[in-house]
């Protein structure tokens, strides 16, 4: 079993990551959750995490909100952010517990400090909180076994050409994390585009007779367009899926860095695929996913509730 700190920005996709983790506690043990801003306010994503944990029956996990904005450039919420919560389309209970009185960075530091062995930090949103943790607490770097994050892309992008969304939100934070010296495993956008959910899969979710599965199906009905014009992908749960079953993933080690100055490429992950820099690899990039295994894991985990 792997003890983890989960740093996330809960919306539809992060719900599935939480669901996977809490259905597979023999593989993954969430000790603390910190939340960060992405397409919703930091208060709302914290509340979303607490609502999801209440539904999933785990009100014992402390939840703290971290950074409300990126390190350098202000973050602009989507124009319609007031019109949605991030978990729209499904009925969630109100949070059944109070948030942590600590900040996200303080909660992560406390959890690492008290751990008997090095822990994994899993990140499924912008990496601002973890960059702040690494900068503020260099004495805790040895308490981090590795960082597993969803971010960056080699051959694709979903915010700007060649730029993945999470890294685009806070390129400076991403640069700190990949150059921290802590082992980093990156679930790239190249991989998450292979995590396809079909209408048939949603129907199988709907057929599972428990409240969590019904919420999952409702979320996907709201989130996805199953007309066949484009694949419906889940970008965030792969972080937890990797920790549960890494055999469904493949990738390679590379030296990487993050562009922070480019007018057209700010947030771009620079990958030395041909050893041109002469520098040693500093990250493992996961680029291929066995989608059948991924979907089977989601469906089997839903039955656990």
117-158, pLDDT tens digit by residue?
999 999 999 999 999 999 999 999 999 999 999 999 999 888
The C-alpha atoms of residue 100 and residue 16 are separated, in whole angstroms, by 22
Query: Domain with 110 in it: what CATH number?
Result: 3.90.245.10
Provide the domain limits for residue 80: 2-302
Q: Contact at 8 Å (CB) between 4 and 124?
A: no
Q: Is the backbone of residue 181 left (phi > 0), alpha (psi -120 to 50) or beta?
A: left
> Within a 13 Å sphere around the CA of 123, how many CA atoms are in the beta-carbon half?
32
Q: Note the pTM of the prediction, 2 decimals.
A: 0.95
Task: Copy the structure tokens of residue 295.
Answer: 């979907």
Residue 120: predicted pLDDT: 98
Strand pairing category for 119-123 and 184-187: unpaired
Count of domains observed in the chain: 1
Q: 3-state secondary structure string, the chain?
A: CEEEEEEECCCHHHHHHHHHHHHCCCCEEEEEEEECCCCCCHHHHHHHHHHHHHHHCCCCCCEEECCCCCCCCCCCCCCCHHHCCCCCCCCCCCCCCCCCCCCHHHHHHHHHHHCCCCEEEEECCCCHHHHHHHHHCHHHHHHEEEEEEECCCCCCCCCECCECHHHHHCHHHHHHHHCCCCCEEEECHHHHCCCECCHHHHHHHHCCCCHHHHHHHHHHHHHCCCCCCCCCECCCCHHHHHHHCHHHEEEEEEEEEECCCCCCCCCCEEEECCCCCCCCCCEEEEEEECHHHHHHHHHHHHCCC
Residue 64: predicted pLDDT: 97
Bridge partner residues of 176 (DSSP): none
The C-alpha atoms of residue 262 and residue 82 are separated, in whole angstroms, by 31
The C-alpha atoms of residue 261 and residue 75 are separated, in whole angstroms, by 17
Spans of the chain below 70 pLDDT: 39, 75-84
Residue 79: predicted pLDDT: 46
């Amino acid at each position: 079993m792997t003890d983890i700190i989960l740093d996330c920005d809960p919306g539809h996709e992060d719900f599935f990551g939480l669901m996977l983790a809490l259905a597979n506690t023999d593989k993954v043990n969430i000790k603390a959750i910190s939340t960060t801003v992405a397409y919703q306010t930091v208060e709302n994503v914290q509340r979303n995490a607490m609502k999801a944990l209440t539904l999933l029956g785990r009100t014992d996990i402390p939840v703290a909100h971290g950074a409300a904005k990126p390190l350098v450039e202000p973050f602009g919420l989507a124009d319609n952010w007031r019109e949605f919560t991030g978990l729209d389309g499904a009925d969630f209970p109100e949070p059944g517990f109070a948030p942590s009185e600590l900040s996200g960075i303080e909660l992560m530091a406390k959890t690492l400090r008290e751990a008997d062995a090095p822990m994994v930090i899993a990140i499924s949103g912008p990496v601002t909180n973890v960059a702040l943790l690494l900068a503020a607490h260099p004495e805790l770097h040895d308490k981090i076994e590795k960082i597993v994050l969803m971010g960056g892309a080699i051959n694709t992008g979903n915010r700007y050409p060649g730029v993945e969304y999470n890294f685009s939100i806070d390129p400076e934070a991403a640069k700190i994390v990949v150059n921290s010296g802590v082992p980093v495993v990156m679930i790239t956008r190249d991989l998450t585009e292979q995590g396809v959910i079909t209408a048939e899969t949603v129907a199988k979710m709907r057929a599972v007779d428990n409240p969590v599965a019904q919420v999952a199906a409702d979320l996907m009905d709201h989130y996805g367009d199953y007309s066949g014009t484009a694949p419906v992908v889940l970008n965030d749960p792969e972080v937890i899926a990797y920790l549960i079953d890494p055999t469904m993933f493949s990738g390679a080690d590379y030296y990487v860095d993050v562009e922070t100055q480019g007018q057209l490429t700010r947030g771009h992950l620079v990958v030395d695929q041909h050893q041109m820099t002469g520098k040693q690899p500093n990250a493992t990039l996961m680029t291929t996913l066995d989608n059948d295994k991924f979907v089977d894991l989601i469906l089997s985990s839903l039955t656990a509730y």
